[in-house]
Structure 1
Amino acid sequence: MSVYFKYLLIHFKSQMQYRTSFWLLSLGQFFIPFSVFAGLYFLFERFGQIKGWGFFEVALCFAVIHMAFSISECFARGFDSFSDLIIKGDFDRVLVRPRSTFVQVLGSKFEFTRAGRLLQSVMVLIWALSSLPIEWTITKIATLVLMMTSGVFIFTGIYMLAATMCFWTVQGLEVANIFTDGGREMAQYPLNIYHKWVARFFTYVIPFGTVNYLPLQYILGKTQGSDLMYMVTPALGSLFILPCFFVWQFGVRHYRSTGS
């Protein structure tokens, strides 16, 4: 991990060489999800609620998924842009270095301008939490932290799967955006507003339901049955990254060098 943090520091210093550009990009990232949130606000202004969910409850759902997405976009960007390493033949150099390919690719690119998007999500989170009558306990605070952590792991896992496909397709596949951008847009609402097959897919296959919908019911006091099941779902969702890591390792073993 010392290598990873060195990568982190080097990229941060390089991006801060052009500070005006950095701050303008961060400002742009702040306003990108703002329009989406504005649409959410006007939706509830018109209809009041969706299947029993009020505005601030959905705003909390929105904030959690966008915070997780922002953090994963910042720190797992190396996998999202992995196709560049394959196309240019730079992955061959990664293989001959005496460090994990996972750490090297993870540390190959950072997008610190995503702090703007993260800031906007934090503001929505604070507004939602201050407006909801939640009786906070240590377990609820821990569940909220796990929800964000689980989201970061799931998005990172999807980036890894998309990167692994580049070993065979060379170019990155846009279909991965269905599960990153599309998953983010879908998971910013409680999953029970969709058809059952959609909710099941995004709970048992791509487990975004463990990031917000299921544990959110525990935090808001909407659980039916044992609270423990709802509390541990974020931890279970985090395990999604393990098969993604094994798929990545499989891809690395089957990589064929450029020969140059």
Structure 2
Amino acid sequence: MYLYLKYVAILFKSQTQYRLSFWLLAIGQALTPLTVFAGLYFMFAQFGQVKGWSFYEAALCYAIVGLSFALAETFARGFDMFSTLVASGDFDRLLVRPRSTVLQVLGSRFEFARLGRMLQSLIILLWSLNKLPLTLTAPKLLTLILMIVCGTLIFAGIFIATASFSFWTIQGLEVANVFTDGGREMAKYPLSIYEKWVAVFFTYIIPLGCVNYLPLLYILGRTDGHEILYMLSPLAGIVFIIPCLLLWKIGVRHYCSTGS
């Protein structure tokens, strides 16, 4: 953790050398997702409710997923850009260092300008919680934190799995955007509004539904069955990242240097 924090400090210092540029980029990152949120607002302004979900409930779902994705982009950006390390041969440098390759790739790149997205999502999160008629008890607060943390792990896991394929393809897979950007946009709405096969895929294969929809039912008091199952469903994010890390280990084992 000490080494990881050193990576964070060094890269933060380098990215804030040009402060005006950094803050303008951060503001841009905060304002850009507002177009999606505006679309959400106008849709609910037109229809009132969507399959029993109100605007503020959907806004809470939007904020949780937005915050999770922003955290993953900020702290796991090294994996998202990993294909360039393989193509240039710079990954060889990481292999000869006496530290985990996961830690080194994780610390190779941070996007601190994404703090703007985090702030925007956090404001919408607090605003929607204030507007909703619910009491945020300690178990519900814990569930909310689990949703954000485990959501971050799922998006980070997708980045890691995608990066692992670079050991065989050299270039990053554009199809991964279906699960990162596409998954993010899909998960910003309650899962119940989609077709059944979509809900099944994003619950049992890529468990985004386990970190936004199911625990959200518990927070909103809509559970049908044992509440503890809804509360603990975000832990699927931890289960999801394990095979992603195993795939990474297999990829490292099969890595062939460029020789450059």
- Pairwise TM-score range, normalised by the shorter structure: over 0.9
Aligned to 1:194: 194
Which amino acid counterpart does residue 154 of structure 1 have in structure 2? I
Which amino acid counterpart does residue 113 of structure 1 have in structure 2? A
Cα distance in 2, alignment partners of residues 109 and 124 from structure 1: 27
Aligned to 2:217: 217
Pairs within 5 Å for 1:244-259: 244-259=244-259
Identity of aligned residues (%): 61
Aligned to 1:124: 124
Q: 1:191-236: CA deviations, max 9, x gaps?
A: 1100000000000000000111000000000000110110000012
Cα distance in 1, alignment partners of residues 204 and 36 from structure 2: 27
Cα distance in 1, alignment partners of residues 86 and 173 from structure 2: 13
Aligned to 2:6: 6
Q: How far did residue 239 of structure 1 move? A: 1.7
Cα distance in 2, alignment partners of residues 39 and 236 from structure 1: 30
Matched, 1:105 2:105: yes
Cα distance in 2, alignment partners of residues 48 and 31 from structure 1: 25
Cα distance in 2, alignment partners of residues 101 and 115 from structure 1: 25
Q: How far did residue 53 of structure 1 move? A: 0.3
Contact 1:151 1:238 in 2 (8 A): no
Structure 1 runs (4+) deviating above 3 angstroms are none
Cα distance in 1, alignment partners of residues 175 and 69 from structure 2: 17
Aligned to 1:24: 24
Aligned to 1:67: 67
Which amino acid counterpart does residue 22 of structure 1 have in structure 2? F
Which amino acid counterpart does residue 165 of structure 1 have in structure 2? F
Q: 1:8-51: CA deviations, max 9, x gaps?
A: 00000001111111001001101111000001000000000100
**Structure 2: gaps (5+ residues):** none
Pairs within 5 Å for 1:49-60: 49-60=49-60
Q: How far did residue 238 of structure 1 move? A: 2.5
Matched, 1:167 2:163: no
Contact 1:149 1:238 in 2 (8 A): no
| 2:32 aligned counterpart, secondary structure | helix
Cα distance in 2, alignment partners of residues 83 and 110 from structure 1: 16
Aligned to 1:39: 39
**Structure 1: gaps (5+ residues):** none
Which amino acid counterpart does residue 240 of structure 1 have in structure 2? F
Pairs within 5 Å for 1:70-149: 70-149=70-149
Cα distance in 1, alignment partners of residues 217 and 133 from structure 2: 13
Q: How far did residue 237 of structure 1 move? A: 2.7
Cα distance in 2, alignment partners of residues 257 and 101 from structure 1: 15
Which amino acid counterpart does residue 23 of structure 1 have in structure 2? W
Aligned residues: 260
TM-score (norm 2): 0.99
Cα distance in 2, alignment partners of residues 151 and 127 from structure 1: 20
Q: 1:151-194: CA deviations, max 9, x gaps?
A: 10000000001100100110111100000000000000011100
Contact 1:150 1:210 in 2 (8 A): no
